[in-house]
Structure 1
Amino acid sequence: MNKIAHIIGSLERGGAERFVVDLCNELAENEQNEVYLVSLFDNHPDTTFVTEISTKVNYVSFDKTPGFSLRVLLELSSWLVAQDIQVVHTHLNALEYLMLYRLKKKNTRFFHTIHSTAEAECPGFFLKSFRKNLYKRNLITPIVVSNDGSESFRKYYGLDNDLVIENGRPFLTKTEEYPKLVSKYKEDQDAFLLIHVGRIIKVKNQQLLIEAVQKFNRREAQKCRLLIIGEVRDELLYQKLLALVADDQYIEFLGGKENIVDYLSIADFFCLSSFYEGMPISLIEALSVGCISICTAVGGIQNMINHKDTGFLSQDNSVDSYYRAIKEAVFSQDKSRIRENSKNAFRSKYHIGAAEKKHSLAYKLA
């Protein structure tokens, strides 16, 4: 039996957290694997992905509170020793909680996934030095989610021993809400329907998207309707965006939604205007249903989208450039081809099954 533990801070609704749940679920489909999903924090069912964990996955939580916790460090170390885990895989800020266990266990294989840029994930001289020592001595294998992430890792740490394994998602199933959304947003509507999925935080750069859509609607006869889906994480930014939108009838904030697939399935286009992305789960979901993407050419997005082949990329992060990308997309004559190319890219590269196979190969599991 292969005993595998994935450790993450929490299962709040974010891309890395979404991927960890999906990967654990997929790994657990192999009867030779005994999979544990370890969350340092507790997770409320209404605001996290905890209810989406497969019954085949063993879920463990350590009731951590904000800030470093010596109690959790000791309890996690003791738990790992007792379980005799063969593969330990950490994500985001969970790596430091392996300090004691890594010193004790010599036959366990250790991995850590960097979901953003190496610098953004691990700022500060002390943590950088600590992690670099672990990576350099091959005590922990670093995994990155895109070629752009690999470049970031190699530049930041001065090492070249990272593995590139792309994120993935399973095929998505529409819910009973889908017909209602079709009726509300598609029937008797002449505007192009744009969907943005992302938490309201600075890095997602929703201001650029809003201003570009407003510019499009000022200049073009056929309008764009923009639905912004995502939980508010920065209240001051949210108030600023609300003021920018004001009484604009074509832009609506919907808050967090669980049935993202329904919105992507009715949308004409999916929009990401971020300053940076590792390998966005929301973009993978858009590809899976053939929703044409319009994105800024940043981070791992550049490795996922080929301009006018699997989506559209703005030349830079200016409002004018993103406006021109929207215009090029909505008036494209090749939309049917791009939709099919998007779905084919998902099947071949970004299905969770492909990610599971690559992780199992890295773990060297039978």
Structure 2
Amino acid sequence: MKILNLIDSLYAGGAESLLKNFVIEAKNYPNFKIDVCTLYSRNVYKEDLLKNGINLYDLSLPFKYDFSGIFKLVKLIRENSYDIVHVHLFPADLFGALASLFVDKKTKFIFSEHSIYNRRRNFKLYKPIDIFVYSRYKRIVCVSNLVKEELINYIPRLVSKVIVIKNAIPVDDIKEDIQKIYDVLFVGRLEKEKGVDILIKAVYEIQSKQSLNLKVALVGDGSLKSEYKKLVKYLSLEDNIKFLGIRRDVEKLMRLSKIFVLPSRYEGLPMVILEAMANRIPIIATKVGGIPEVIEDGIEGLLVEPESKDELTKKILYLLNNPSLREQLSKNAFEKVKSEYSIQSYTQRMLKLYEEVLSEGS
């Protein structure tokens, strides 16, 4: 079976990391040949794919809505006679839907919905476009139960084609005892939905009212990076908060940090939560999206309300001052991610889905 996975880019994000891990794991199944295609040339994970013998095609589109990419995509699908085209993220879903109109009907299209929310849902004019886009996919794979619920609430007619296959990661049993460098670590896009501003303000509260001299690392990039840097400077936190940019050693940084904080305003099922669990770093996260499906408050991590700077401040102080609790939370989280969110199980389910979709005919 020949499959093409289409995604905007292989930039450092959760969907991109999941795709990378999946196609590498799928190399263990010789009956499936999986290639990857990106719309844009921002491929952080390019070398990981190439060294594992995975074909990577780059359409090298110069801007987001360069619809000449549809013809490049159609040509690629035809030349390689793909059985399945598996699409991730927007606007790749739009490109995939339009390409499906111009290829042989034997090629089946499926889409992975990675988020609980997108801005298009706020505008009625976009809904007919979304209805058309989703109609071109045989299955829509949601990364959490809540993502599924919200999508069906948005377009009820999709109920028969939506399934849930939860995010997953490779899990390594090796445990290292490393001297901690950072008190708090954040990994994610520097965008409003991730709530980095709330974390910065919580750090300010701790610095202004406690004797702790926090060391905080912010890993990632985004459109609000300069704004967040200005906020850090305004609050005189330059010595406490470091912007580390895009990093390829996130797992090591997790092992070098005491706690991981994800103060998101909304989420799907963030891969970075699973990565933190697998790397045995205790977690504080907000009660949004699929996070409560993975973390039970007080068992695998601590949960806070979104937008609550005060609650986040209290939980950071509480966890930093309780090393035994940090150890117990990280142990519980590791056991859970190992048993329920392994990339091996995810890959088996996804390959089975490919077989099911292909067996259904047109």
For the superposition of Structure 1 and Structure 2, which TM-score range results when normalised by the shorter chain? 0.7 to 0.9
**What's the TM-score once normalised by structure 2's chain length?**
0.87
Deviation string 1:224-269 (CA, Å, 9 cap, x unpaired) is 4322122243344234333244245332222222111111112111
Q: In the comparison of the two structures, how many residue pairs are matched?
A: 350
2:12 is paired with a residue whose SS is coil
What are the residue-to-residue correspondences of 1:34-183 with 2, within 5 Å?
Answer: 34-43=33-42, 48-54=44-50, 55-92=52-89, 93-98=91-96, 99-102=98-101, 104-120=103-119, 124-125=123-124, 127-133=126-132, 135=134, 139-158=137-156, 159-161=158-160, 162-171=162-171
What are the residue-to-residue correspondences of 1:1-366 with 2, within 5 Å?
Answer: 2-43=1-42, 48-54=44-50, 55-92=52-89, 93-98=91-96, 99-102=98-101, 104-120=103-119, 124-125=123-124, 127-133=126-132, 135=134, 139-158=137-156, 159-161=158-160, 162-171=162-171, 185-186=180-181, 193-247=183-237, 249-332=239-322, 333-364=324-355
Q: Which moved more, 1:28-37 or 1:91-100?
A: 91-100
Q: Contact between 1:5 and 1:38, CA under 8 Å: does it hold in 2?
A: yes
CA positional deviation for 1:88: 0.9
1:160 is paired with a residue whose SS is helix
Distance 2:12 2:257 in 1: 22
| Unaligned residue ranges in structure 2 (runs of 5+) | none
State percent identity of aligned pairs. Answer: 22
Q: CA, structure 1 residues 247+135, in 2 after alignment: closer, same or farther (shift >3 Å)? A: closer
**What's the TM-score once normalised by structure 1's chain length?**
0.86
Superposed CA RMSD in Å reads: 2.7
Distance 1:195 1:119 in 2: 26
Distance 1:150 1:165 in 2: 10
Q: CA, structure 1 residues 258+264, in 2 after alignment: closer, same or farther (shift >3 Å)? A: same
Distance 1:256 1:273 in 2: 19
Q: CA, structure 1 residues 265+67, in 2 after alignment: closer, same or farther (shift >3 Å)? A: closer
Deviation string 1:103-146 (CA, Å, 9 cap, x unpaired) is 5432333210111125436665565324424645x743111111
CA positional deviation for 1:172: 6.0
Q: Which AA in structure 2 matches 1:160?
A: V
Deviation string 1:38-70 (CA, Å, 9 cap, x unpaired) is 1122345xxx22111153311111221103334
| Unaligned residue ranges in structure 1 (runs of 5+) | 187-191
Deviation string 1:203-223 (CA, Å, 9 cap, x unpaired) is 222111121122234444455
Deviation string 1:56-101 (CA, Å, 9 cap, x unpaired) is 3111112211033343211211221221111110011212223243
1:53 is paired with a residue whose SS is helix
